């Protein structure tokens, strides 16, 4: 009997790598990609456990699953840190942040109009 590849192993690896790369985008993007990768990995692991001699690339799936766990954890930590940062910022700090933002936007508009 010829062995076939697990259907989502490559997708799991790609999504896991994207999850790790995008974990710095406030955490939410990496969290989404990581959870999708974990869902697909668990689905393929069930397929493999039902009939292990039928599939050949379980090691790729397991690698992708490990990367998905890492990406999900990093993204979750980033997301929680962002929530903490927004929650603990005082109104005075927000005023300072918004003042600096407005100055930067005005400077960008002046440079663009030249």
Interval 1-47: pLDDT, tens: 688 999 999 999 999 999 999 999 889 999 999 999 999 999 999 99
Q: What is the pLDDT confidence band of residue 114, given thresholds at 50, 70 and 90? A: confident
Helices (H), 22-90: 28-50, 58-88
Distances, alpha carbon 9 to alpha carbons 6, 19, 24, 62, in Å = 6, 15, 25, 8
**Which of 19, 22, 3 is CA-nearest to residue 66?**
19
Instruction: Round to whole Å and give the CA distance between 77 and 9.
Output: 26
Predicted pLDDT at 2: 81
The C-alpha R_g of the chain, in whole angstroms, comes to 22
What is the rounded average pLDDT of the residues 93-104?
Answer: 93
Instruction: Round to whole Å and give the CA distance between 79 and 58.
Output: 31
Predicted pLDDT at 1: 63
Note if the pTM is more than 0.85. Answer: no
């Amino acid at each position: 009997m010829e062995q076939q590849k697990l259907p989502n192993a490559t997708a799991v690896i790609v999504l896991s790598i994207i999850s790790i790369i995008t974990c710095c985008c406030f955490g939410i993007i990496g969290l989404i990609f990581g959870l999708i990768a974990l869902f697909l990995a668990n689905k393929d692991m069930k397929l493999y456990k039902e009939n292990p001699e039928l599939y050949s690339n379980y090691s790729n799936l397991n690698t992708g699953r490990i990367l998905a766990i890492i990406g999900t954890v990093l993204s979750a930590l980033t997301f929680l840190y962002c929530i903490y940062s927004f929650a603990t910022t005082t109104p005075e700090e927000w005023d300072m942040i918004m003042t600096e933002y407005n100055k930067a936007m005005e400077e960008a508009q002046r440079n663009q109009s030249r």
